[in-house]
A and B are shown apart, each in its own frame.
Chain A
Amino acid sequence: MEWEVVIGCEIHSQLATKSKIFSGASTAYGAEPNTQACAVDLGLPGVLPVLNKEAVRMAVKFGLAVGAELTKRSVFARKNYFYPDLPKGYQISQFELPIVGIGHLDIELEDGSTKRIGITRAHLEEDAGKSLHEDFHGMTGIDLNRAGTPLLEIVSEPDLRSAKEAVAYMKKIHSLVRYLEICDGNMQEGSFRCDANVSVRPMGQKELGTRAEVKNLNSFRFVERAIDYEVERQIDVIESGGKVVQETRLYDSDKGETRAMRSKEEANDYRYFPDPDLLPVELEDDFIEMVRSTLPELPDAKKERFTEQYSLSTYDASVLTASREMGDFYETVVTASGGDAKVAANWVMGDFSASLNKDNKEISESVVTAEMLAGMLKRIADNTISGKIAKEVFEAMWNGEGDADTVIDKKGLKQITDSGAIEAIIDDVINNNPKQAEQYRGGKEQLFGFFVGQVMKATQGKANPGQVNELLKKKLNS
């Protein structure tokens, strides 16, 4: 039987506010345990939450970016359950009236077509703390630094039909929240976390199959693997006569499989009700328009512009607009170099991106700035160096040896463009290889490359390749 895969995603995106959603404590990552948890975060008797307006602004910004209906009067609710890292015994979240209503996002499929994915809702909530089980000898340590960190939970419609589509959707959201500067997107630190609701149904069937929620997906690679595993598992279960159980499953990245959580971990009646400590969030039109005016150019619009303005292919444009930083970097390079946009694209997507990947660095951490790369491209354009030598210059810049001019100067990489000097070297090479010269002149034209290589070797690659070709041809044919 042919099976259709149906996936919906829930993404928890940590909002990049300075302080927590309901208290003034800092949200910075990595502090000593419990040093960033104030009385409110600890859930001491008598404390009250006060909503951080920044979190509201960021949620609205997201809503506008996905063309969503904004809820003019959204309500915070309490989700009640006991857990040691949940200090109040309830999480403040939004239930019936989330701040962001129905919206959508377009993703690109592998065949180059686009697909519209529905966004059901996005709501604000507070994060819990962390339970630490290691180093406590049979006990559990509780770190409440993360408790109260603002999250935007973005829920998609079950519109995704494969693990690859799910990954494309998550990457698009990931890129979007960073464009909007509402989330740092750091998946290792848990700033961006995904859960996937996966089900399968016979191709052509209308009703959805029973779904399993797969949690704990903290990289795009894991998302793809976990969904693929889960799809296989569900098909196996059904084809061997069983039934898929609605449950929460954890992805184990070491084993590459999903496993059901103990039923105790999820058998909860959360007893949601509106939080009487917080007023409904009223969104005024003026506020919404103010936020709208701060929206940056969004990825799709920027991609469109890149293909037109810089004559880039759709592929190049989408790579260069995958993140706001990448797009900004590229545009700075083009503007500062004043040269060929395609050459700039090749360098940014090529050596520059490869170096970032190799050293596992963000653009913001790169030693080579857009201005430095542009400076190097200028030296290619004015023939000071060849494209080949440029790779050496780039590597030196990457290693912190200074800007292009400094490196060229220090290493003596300046291209030899003096035709007298090049001619002298060519003469030497021809004289030293009389046999080959004879063969060439006898019609073995493929030996031309040999002579070019010899000349470049003799000049340590610094001779202008165009000139070498031209002069060599003249000499050999004379």
Chain B
Amino acid sequence: MTALALENLSIRYGTRPVVMDVSLSLAPGRTIGLVGESGSGKSSIANAVVGLAPISGGDILVDGVSAVGRGRRAREARRGVQLIFQDPYSALDPRMSVGDSIAEATLATGRKWTRAERHHRVRELLERVRVHPDRAGDLPGAFSGGQRQRITIARALAGEPQVLIADEVTSALDVSVQGTVLNLLRELQQDLGLSILFISHNLAVVRYMSDEIHVMCGGVIVESGPTEPLLDGPEDPYTRQLLSAVPVLGERMTFEEHVTP
């Protein structure tokens, strides 16, 4: 059983291929990390899965049901996947209270909600991400970056997804609050049994979050496997290059010694 499966997924913008023949399958309750550099196609995959970008080939299965196209079944399948955006400053409508933003997302459950139920649910979700529920009426401007990112996570949860896609969720945050967001995601996963597709360019963060890593380069997956073995013995030259480029605290970086002119 897989929560999310990509089968030979291809995406192109105009005539330019950005993702080619990518397959992966995400088991329930697990995390797959997708690592790669800018332009490698990671975010295109995220957009395609939630229906924000058209695909040019292959299939996307959510809980075994194809989530491709405009049909009712596909739309329902897509609702099982929610996306957390990179920049918490543009991910919340500046003129809508955070409570309303979260309430709007309950639409994705496909159920009818009464006012009271919705109100209750918003408070519950805010509490869950550790924002005081009494602040539901505040506009996003009143919150710090880390809090906003937690609120966008609450909004994603309001859709009651089985799969969360976290697209560079810490890149726009200051170092000191990145940890909170990562901890929260891990905790939610344990409590709710979520499956997470964790996308980042930061290998250390992906390593920390994921059970399994897929390395992307130029629109294709060049190497994949369970986290530890893959990082201990990378086989693809690109993975090796990536691994050697990550700085390690307190350790002098090694450079090839060139003959200097």
**Do the two shown chains form a genuine complex with each other?**
no
What is the interface of chain B, defined by CB distance below 8 A to chain A? none
Residues of A within 8 A of B (CB): none
